[in-house]
Amino acid sequence: METASLLLTNAAVIIIAFLILWAICLAIGDMTPVDAVWGLGMVLVAASTYVQMAGGVGDGAPRQYLLLGLVALWGGRLGGYMLWRWRHHGPDRRYVAMLGKAQAARGWSLPVASLILVFATQAPLLLIVCLPVQLGQIDTSTPLGLLGWAGAGLCLFGIAFETLADWQLVRFKADPANKGQVMSRGLWRYTRHPNYFGDACAWWGLYLIAAETGPGLWALPGPLLLTWTLMKWSGAPTVERRMARTKPGYEDYIRRTSGFIPWPPKRA
């Protein structure tokens, strides 16, 4: 019952937050800010869990502080980066195309299309992916062990990896000489999606921290779902279809570069 109450309360928190964001996005006519809330929303869920399980500042267990601190670092960085990208590059073309198609083909209004296709889709995914920082905070009696500290190391590695990858890509795009070129330098030389790989490492690390506890073991669907979405659904496949259409050298890049796990490039 404690677990069910926790998850239902967090679901209510996210539904309220997403409805407020939906109203704001409708007011500005742009759904792109939801990408920033993907990371910040997980911080909100972790904080809500801490309040329910610990009660107040200073009353938590080491595992709770570790999970909350790491997800705040991950979500704050990702959310800040996505907000910066939105302010500098404007609306995300994916949402423009998807919502425009739904309005034209199905006759949906923008409020209906955006609520169903964007917000009602992302809210449950967010709650499932961040299961490690929810279920991992329930048991406060089990001490942190080697698995937990290894998970913390993997999480920090993932955050650093995706941060460096995003920084390298921003610098590459900022150079006019690189217009129309394929980014194949730095970490992007060893994997076509270093940002996604880092993301997966961060959440598998959080799962390892949670998995030292009985309830935390059941959080496995979180990192599994995230990895699947990054590799097979809304992550890499979406990016690669667009890049193959717009970047002449992208097919060659695919042939020589690992799709996810970093690996030395193949020789031509």
Q: What is the pLDDT of residue 93?
A: 83
- Tell me the pTM: 0.93
Q: Is the pLDDT of residue 56 over 80?
A: no
Instruction: Kindly report the number of other CB atoms within 10 A of residue 187's CB atom.
Output: 21
Q: How many residues does the chain have?
A: 268
Domain boundaries, the chain: 2-256
Please, which pLDDT band fits residue 89 given cuts at 50, 70 and 90? confident
Span 100-109, average pLDDT: 88
Rounded-to-integer distance, Cα 189 and Cα 164, Å: 13
Q: Is the pLDDT of residue 127 over 90?
A: yes
User: Chain-wide mean pLDDT for the chain?
Assistant: 93
Please, which pLDDT band fits residue 212 given cuts at 50, 70 and 90? very high
Q: What is the pLDDT of residue 268?
A: 62
Q: What is the pLDDT of residue 62?
A: 93
H, E, C per residue of 9-38 = HHHHHHHHHHHHHHHHHHHHCCCCCHHHHH
Quick: pLDDT tens for 57-85: 666 799 999 999 999 999 999 999 999 99
Span 204-209, average pLDDT: 98
Quick: pLDDT tens for 134-186: 999 999 899 999 999 999 999 999 999 999 999 999 999 999 999 889 999 99
